[in-house]
């Protein structure tokens, strides 16, 4: 049993507040839910959809089934979405919304109370009773208005139309960006410099808020070039540092990515992808920036790229990024996207709260920042500790960090930097195999598609179309160990990607000689839904009675 809700309207109509209030109450009432949004690059007007899926088991994707409840704050929502209403679906049309606004004004002398009134109506539709609500609501949730909304649902005969039991015991809720923010703080991040850019801005806000009470500094930079150079300065000076941006801002950062590679300064770079090229669709989702991240920065140097596919992976990989950036003295990338960034989900289980700490080794005056070592890793320390002088240079440099044009030394320094990569194999995060291991078809995902693909695999298998799913959360480097123990021989491999060219499929072929047989690609700026993916897989790869 599930209930899907679409709340549509114009920017400025209170949609974001409604989403926040409904999500907070569903969470505190103990419902399993998943919420995401499709929105336009506008401050006022335009058209935005906020989508909720409420269930009696964990859900981490849009189902793609028709809507059980349609809330139309404007006529356009009504016009566009009415046809997608389920057979026994309920519709709150602009007429009902006007009535809610009237009740807010009459009963509370404040039209803003429409939001809790509407939330009250929706909660009553899924069977919430006033006693449960009173126990869960806080003063700022406006319990009186919520209760008035519940009474209105009864008046309209909408109460208990999609009754769901609150069965979730998940203690925490996050959106994708706050999971990365939380993981970054666990990773010991103490510095972020940033220039706002959708869909990375909420991550900046997270760190900026944390900086108010923790030993962390957030600096708004004049541009992305300054942001990453500030972060490199802070990292050099001794703080674990990060930046976040989206494709266009990242393009500005690329020279400094190369600087991080040359100076061997640890840094974590989060890229929340949106559709390009150029400004593209600023508030929509895509996985189109893998190739640019793989090749960003002139010259040759090692790098590591993670792409979390769930909240837990976002927390874990963000934390791990800071460890790896320090261990290998390299730039580490986290690729996320608008879909994961803006999706509100429950975290299954509790995060491990140990905080990763930097090592502060002290050296004497003989210290050389780029000492040549067998594994390519030179001892890392920071200015002002002991008598060591820490001298780093973007030019090719000597072991002591001074500019050199000694060409033999140049070769040794290149080899040293690249030697670090050969050690990274042992720290590779292996892909996860899910579903029917014996199936003839395996869906391959990376990044935010993980949970959509896994639910689709479950559903396809239960509908008589058995499939397995293989998810990569470390997308570079790809190492042979990733395919050991995952028997893909004889399987038809289908890449599922939110881009137009199958960038990850290309990378698998280049790095692991893995041939992908088919691709399902979506690049209209929206995420996949489970139903859509199932239908596509069933239609293209199955015939009645078996695989095509």
Residues that bind other proteins (CB under 8 A): 27-28, 171-174, 178, 182, 185-186, 188, 190-191, 193, 210-211, 213-217, 219, 221-223, 225-227, 229-239, 241, 255-256, 259, 263, 347, 351, 353-355, 357-358, 360, 382-384, 386-395, 401-403
Minimum CB separation of residue 508 from other proteins in Å reads 34
Which residue shows structure tokens 């399993």?
32
Asked whether 368 and 304 are in contact (CB, 8 A), the reply is no
Minimum CB separation of residue 136 from other proteins in Å reads 8
Nearer to other proteins, 173 or 474 (CB): 173
The pair phi, psi for residue 182, each rounded to 5°, is -60, -45
The CA–CA distances, whole Å, from 345 to 46, 115, 176, 524 equal 26, 21, 8, 23
Nearer to other proteins, 127 or 386 (CB): 386
Nearer to other proteins, 71 or 146 (CB): 146
Query: Which tokens go with 301?
Result: 């140097």
Minimum CB separation of residue 32 from other proteins in Å reads 14
Largest pairwise CA distance in the chain: 84
Nearer to other proteins, 263 or 273 (CB): 263
Asked whether 387 and 365 are in contact (CB, 8 A), the reply is yes
Nearer to other proteins, 106 or 140 (CB): 140
List beta partners, residue 268.
242, 332
For 353, other C-beta atoms within 10 Å of its C-beta total: 7
Cα 463 to chain centroid, rounded:
29
Minimum CB separation of residue 507 from other proteins in Å reads 29
Asked whether 49 and 8 are in contact (CB, 8 A), the reply is yes
- Residue of 53, 66, 58 whose CA lies nearest to 22: 53
Minimum CB separation of residue 189 from other proteins in Å reads 8
Minimum CB separation of residue 315 from other proteins in Å reads 10
Contacts of 205 (CB under 8 A, 6+ apart): none
Q: In 96-227, which ranges are E strands?
A: 172-175, 189-194, 217-220
Asked whether 434 and 404 are in contact (CB, 8 A), the reply is no
Nearer to other proteins, 223 or 463 (CB): 223
Minimum CB separation of residue 174 from other proteins in Å reads 6
Query: Which tokens go with 199?
Result: 């869909």
| Helix locations, 238-363, DSSP H | 247-263, 290-295, 311-328, 338-342
- Given strand 492-497, what is the order of strands in its sheet? 432-435, 468-472, 441-446, 492-497, 518-521
Minimum CB separation of residue 467 from other proteins in Å reads 33
Nearer to other proteins, 34 or 38 (CB): 34
Nearer to other proteins, 163 or 362 (CB): 362
Nearer to other proteins, 108 or 363 (CB): 363
How far apart are alpha carbons 213 and 209 in whole angstroms? Answer: 8
Minimum CB separation of residue 169 from other proteins in Å reads 10
How far apart are alpha carbons 234 and 228 in whole angstroms? Answer: 10
């Amino acid at each position: 049993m599930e209930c899907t809700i679409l709340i549509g309207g114009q920017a400025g109509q209170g949609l974001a507040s409604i989403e926040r209030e409904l999500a907070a109450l569903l969470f505190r009432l103990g419902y399993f839910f998943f919420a995401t949004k499709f929105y336009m690059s506008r401050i006022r007007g335009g058209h935005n959809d906020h989508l909720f899926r409420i269930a009696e088991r964990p859900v981490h994707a849009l189902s793609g089934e028709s809507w059980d409840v349609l809330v139309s704050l404007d006529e356009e929502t009504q016009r566009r979405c009415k046809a997608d209403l389920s057979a026994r679906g309920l519709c709150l049309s602009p007429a009902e919304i006007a009535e809610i606004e009237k009740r807010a004004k009459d009963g509370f002398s404040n039209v803003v109370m429409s939001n809790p009134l509407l939330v009250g109506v929706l909660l009553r539709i899924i069977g919430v009773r006033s006693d449960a609500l009173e126990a869960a609501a806080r003063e700022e949730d406006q319990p009186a208005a919520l209760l008035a909304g519940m009474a209105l649902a009864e008046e309209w005969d909408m109460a208990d139309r999609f009754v769901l039991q609150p069965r979730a015991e998940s203690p925490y809720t996050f959106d994708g960006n706050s999971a990365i923010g939380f993981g970054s703080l666990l990773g010991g991040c103490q510095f972020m410099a940033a220039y706002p850019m959708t869909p990375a801005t909420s991550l900046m806000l997270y760190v900026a808020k944390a900086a108010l009470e923790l030993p962390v500094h957030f600096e708004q930079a004049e541009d992305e070039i300054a942001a990453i150079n500030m972060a490199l300065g802070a990292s050099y000076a001794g703080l674990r540092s990060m930046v976040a941006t989206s494709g266009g801002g990242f393009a500005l950062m690329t020279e400094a990515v190369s600087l991080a590679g040359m100076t061997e300064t640890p840094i974590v770079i989060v890229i929340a992808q949106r559709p390009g090229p150029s400004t593209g669709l600023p508030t929509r989702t895509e996985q189109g920036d893998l190739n640019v991240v793989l090749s960003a920065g002139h010259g040759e140097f090692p790098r590591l790229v993670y792409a979390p596919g769930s909240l837990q992976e976002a927390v874990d990989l963000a934390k791990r990024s800071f460890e790896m950036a320090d261990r290998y003295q390299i730039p580490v990338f986290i690729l996320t996207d608008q879909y994961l960034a803006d999706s509100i989900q429950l975290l299954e289980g509790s995060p491990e709260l140990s905080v990763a700490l930097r090592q502060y080794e002290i050296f004497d005056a003989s210290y050389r920042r780029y000492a040549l070592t067998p594994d390519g890793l030179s001892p890392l320390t920071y200015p002002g500790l002991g008598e060591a002088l820490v001298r780093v240079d973007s030019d090719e440099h000597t072991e002591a960090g001074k500019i050199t044009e000694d060409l033999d030394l140049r070769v040794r320094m290149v080899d040293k930097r690249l030697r670090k990569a050969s050690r990274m194999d042992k720290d590779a995060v292996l892909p996860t195999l899910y579903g029917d291991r014996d199936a003839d078809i395996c869906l391959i995902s990376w990044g935010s598609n993980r949970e959509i693909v896994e639910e689709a695999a479950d559903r396809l298998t239960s509908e008589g179309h058995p499939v397995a799913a293989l998810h990569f959360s470390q997308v570079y480097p790809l190492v042979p160990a990733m395919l050991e123990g995952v028997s893909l021989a004889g399987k038809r491999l289908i890449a599922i990607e939110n881009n137009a060219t199958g960038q990850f499929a290309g990378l698998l072929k280049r790095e692991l000689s893995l041939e992908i047989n088919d691709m399902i690609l979506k690049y209209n700026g929206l995420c996949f839904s489970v139903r859509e993916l199932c239908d596509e897989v069933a239609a293209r790869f199955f015939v009645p009675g078996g695989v095509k």
